[in-house]
Each structure stands twice: as structure tokens, then as C-alpha cells.
């Protein structure tokens, strides 16, 4: 496994492989790796001849300074996990390498980034769009792998790739969960034991809502029951719980006549903000 710290180092390392027609798979991460990230790596290994993983905590996608400062940094542990998985290259740039000057570019994804996460985290997806564009331009992979847990981010990146004509295939990997259903997230390590137990409320409510919808239940009545459930849990604070079209994120009132529907949610458990989603049809 080779660690690359500069854009030029990435270009030099991959150029020979690219001219040899090797398929390059890319997994962008912010580190603090867990089984969800490793699932992306495993899938990349299966369908790409060369795998490169980036680790970079991107400051421009944090609209909350405290959230950025509290983001877990576990570089040594991350590198060990990636080496065990047989990753070929790690792109490990510092802030100056990724942002040699202040970025003036802002990205607007229209309705895609005005709803759900975008409504609560203004500027977040502009930051995501900028850093993903930088990374795709630096690595120039054939395939790039993302997790379904970040459903809105996936929709944004798919749109980014189409609009800017990036020559890359975006591959979405299903959410990896703990045994009790909690979606794996780098933020989970910030939960204390009591909060960790409480955090299962997100997945339980998603499953409850899905079952009720498939049984013909009314969406607004279902959401009201979920809202009350969160209200009755003192350690949890619900931000949103929405029925949406999986690709466009348009908010829906029912699943009838729809081919791609998901429920998306975000909530604070103590001081830790978690997101999750579940496909319905």
C-alpha cells in the first residue's frame, strides 16, 4: 500500500496504470473508518483492478464549526484497516494541498440541495460538490463508490457527474448496519452508552413507517406517530422525517404510483446529529 500526499504524486502513480488499461476504483472518505467504509472498499476490490482511497476531512462542507472540530481523526487505525483490505493507494492530502487558496466557487444544485439536509445545513452540498469535483479531477477514476446512507449526497454527486461530464461510473453500496439496526457512521463513536441505545430509534421508526405504508397507512398519520415517539424520548430530537422520491428527493404524500420511494430522517441523539434512510419501493 502506497501513501500519496500530493496531487502530482497521485498523477504519477496512476498514469502508468491508466495507460496499461487498468480499471481504477476510488473510494473518497473523511476517515474514522468503519464497516460501512470497508464495504465500499470491498466492492471496489471486486470490480476494479486498482483501488485508491482518499482520507480528507473537508472543512467547506461543515456549516457547524463545532461539528468540524469534533469530527474524529483516526489516521493510524484507518491506514491499518485499509492495508488489511489490500488497498493499493491512499491519497492523504493536507488542507493546503486541497485548498492552496480560498475557494470562491459555490455550487447550487437547485431543489436537490434545498430540502432535507440542505434545509438544515446551508452550504453543505456546495462544499461536498467542490471537494468531490477536486477529488475526481485529481484521481480520474473509472468507478467511484458511495454509501446509500448518504442518500441525498449520492443524488447530488450523480447530478454533479452528469452536469460536469465527469467520465466516471458512480456505484452506490447499501447501508451497513449494526446488529440492532443503527446505520454505521463515524459519528456513532461520539455517543455515550445511553445515547447509543437511544440512537436505534431512527431505524426503528423507519421500519415502523415502511411497514405502515406498505399496509396502506396514511403518511401524515404515520409521521405524526413517529414525531410523538421522538418527543417522548428525552435524549432524542427529530429534525425531519420525510417521504421522498429516491432520485429527485421530491417530498411525497403517498407511495401509490411511485417506482422509487424512500424515507429520510435526521435527528439529534444528545449532541450528536445522525441521518438515515430506508427504501420503500
191 and 98, same structural domain?
no
**Nearest alpha-carbon partner for 133 in 125, 172, 240, 208:** 125
Same domain, 120 and 15: yes
Burial of 221 (0-12, 13-18, 19+ CB in 10 A): exposed
Mean pLDDT per block of 10 residues along the chain (281 residues) reads 98 92 97 96 97 97 87 96 98 97 92 93 95 98 97 97 97 97 95 98 98 97 98 97 96 94 98 96 86
Together in a domain, 131 and 253 = no
If asked whether residues 141 and 218 sit together in one domain, one would say no
**Binding-site residues for ATP:** 30-37, 147-150, 176, 184-187
CA nearest to 238, candidates 208, 215, 268: 268
Question: Does residue 36 lie within any of the structural domains?
Answer: yes
Find, among 34, 277, 51, 60, the residue nearest to 155 by Cα.
277
pLDDT of res. 67: 86
pLDDT in the model for residue 187: 93
Kindly give the interhelix angle for 7-19 and 124-139, rounded to the nearest 10 degrees. Answer: 50
Residues 104 and 214 both lie in one domain: no
Whether 111 is in a domain gets the answer: yes
Among 148, 173, 198, residue at a domain's last position: 173
* Phi, then psi, of 165 in degrees rounded to 5: 60, 40
**How many folded domains does the chain comprise?**
2
* Confidence at residue 95, expressed as pLDDT on a 0 to 100 scale: 96
Q: pTM of whole model > 0.85? A: yes
Q: How far is 139 from 167, CA to CA, in rounded Å?
A: 11
pLDDT per residue as tens digits for the range 121-140: 999 999 999 999 999 999 99
Give the range of the structural domain holding residue 218, as residue numbers without chain letter.
186-279
Quick one: 168 and 197 in the same domain?
no
Q: Do 23 and 50 reside in the same domain of the chain?
A: yes
Q: Are residues 130 and 193 in the same domain?
A: no
Please tell me the predicted confidence (pLDDT) of residue 66.
84
Q: Which domain-ending residue is among 173, 199, 219?
A: 173
- Tens of pLDDT, residue by residue over 251-264, are 999 999 899 999 99
Distance separating alpha carbons of residues 196 and 248, to the nearest angstrom: 32
Q: Given this model, what pLDDT does residue 65 score?
A: 83
Domain boundary among 146, 173, 200: 173
Which residues belong to the annotated binding site for beta-alanine? 61
Contact 252, 219 (CB under 8 A): yes
Name the helix (H) or strand (E) containing 268. strand 261-269
In a domain, 179, yes or no: no
37 is catalytic: yes
Residues 133 and 243 in one domain: no
Phi-psi region of 146 (alpha: psi -120 to 50; beta: other; left: phi over 0): beta
- 180 in any annotated domain: no
Please indicate, yes or no, whether residues 165 and 267 belong to a single structural domain of this protein. no
Question: What are 93's three cell numbers?
Answer: 492530502
Q: What is the CATH number of the domain that holds 226?
A: 3.30.1300.10
Residue 200 lies in a domain: yes
Who's near 151: CB < 8 A, 6+ residues apart?
246, 249, 262, 264, 277
- Asked, for residue 178, whether it belongs to a domain, the answer is no
Tell whether 159 is covered by a domain: yes
> Are 210 and 148 contained in the same domain?
no
204 and 162 both lie in a single domain: no
Task: List residues forming the annotated binding site.
Answer: 30-37, 61, 147-150, 153, 176, 184-187
Binding residues for (R)-pantoate: 61, 153
In the block, cell 491512499 appears at 90
Amino acid at each position: 500500500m502506497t501513501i500519496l500526499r500530493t496531487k502530482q504524486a497521485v498523477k504519477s502513480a496512476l498514469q502508468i496504470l491508466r495507460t496499461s488499461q487498468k480499471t481504477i476504483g476510488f473510494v473518497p472518505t473523511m476517515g474514522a473508518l468503519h464497516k460501512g467504509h470497508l464495504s465500499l472498499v470491498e466492492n471496489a476490490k471486486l470490480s476494479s483492478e486498482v483501488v485508491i482511497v482518499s482520507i480528507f476531512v473537508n472543512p467547506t462542507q461543515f456549516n457547524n464549526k463545532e461539528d468540524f472540530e469534533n469530527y474524529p481523526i483516526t489516521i493510524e487505525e484507518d491506514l491499518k484497516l485499509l492495508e488489511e483490505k489490500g488497498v493499493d493507494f491512499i491519497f492523504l492530502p493536507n488542507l493546503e494541498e486541497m485548498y492552496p487558496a480560498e475557494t470562491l466557487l459555490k455550487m447550487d444544485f437547485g431543489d436537490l440541495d434545498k430540502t432535507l439536509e440542505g434545509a438544515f445545513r446551508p452550504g453543505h452540498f456546495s462544499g461536498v460538490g467542490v471537494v468531490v469535483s477536486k477529488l475526481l479531477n485529481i484521481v480520474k477514476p473509472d468507478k467511484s463508490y458511495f454509501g446509500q446512507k448518504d442518500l441525498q449526497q449520492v443524488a447530488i454527486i450523480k447530478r454533479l457527474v452528469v452536469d460536469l461530464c465527469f467520465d466516471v461510473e458512480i456505484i452506490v453500496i447499501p447501508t451497513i448496519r449494526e446488529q440492532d439496526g443503527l446505520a454505521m457512521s463515524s459519528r456513532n463513536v461520539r455517543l455515550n452508552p445511553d445515547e447509543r441505545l437511544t440512537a436505534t430509534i431512527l431505524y426503528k421508526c423507519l421500519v415502523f413507517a415502511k411497514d405502515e405504508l406498505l399496509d396502506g397507512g396514511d403518511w401524515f398519520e404515520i409521521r405524526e406517530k413517529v414525531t410523538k415517539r421522538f418527543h417522548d424520548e428525552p435524549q432524542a430530537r427529530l429534525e425531519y422525517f420525510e417521504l421522498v422520491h429516491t432520485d429527485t428527493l421530491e417530498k411525497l404524500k403517498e407511495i401509490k404510483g411511485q417506482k422509487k420511494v424512500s424515507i429520510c430522517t435526521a435527528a439529534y441523539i444528545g449532541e450528536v446529529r445522525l441521518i438515515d434512510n430506508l427504501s420503500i419501493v
